[in-house]
Homo-oligomer: A and B are copies of this chain.
Amino acid sequence: MVVRISESTVRRLSHYYRVLEELDAEGGKVVSSRRLAEREGVTPAQVRKDLSCFGSFGRRGLGYSVAHLRSEIRTILGLDRRWRVAVAGAGHIGSALLAYRGFAEQGFEVVAVFDRDPERIGQRIGTLIVHDIATMPEWSMREGIEIGVIATPAAAAQEVADLMVRSGLRGILNFAPRNLVAPPSVTVRNVDMTLEFESLSFALAAGDGRPVAAGSGRRHRRR
Contacts and interface: CB of A to CB of B under 8 A. Distances in A.
Interface of A: 1-8, 10-14, 17-18, 40-43, 46, 53-54, 75-79, 81, 83, 91-93, 95-97, 99-100, 102-103, 106-108, 146-147, 170-173, 177, 184, 187, 189, 191-207, 210-216, 218-222
Given A3-B211, A5-B213, A199 B193 contact: no
- Identical chains bound together, number: 2
23 contacts: A1-B221, A2-B219, A2-B220, A4-B41, A6-B40, A6-B46, A7-B199, A8-B8, A8-B40, A11-B11, A13-B202, A14-B198, A53-B211, A54-B211, A77-B205, A91-B96, A92-B95, A93-B96, A100-B193, A147-B197, A171-B201, A171-B203, A173-B200
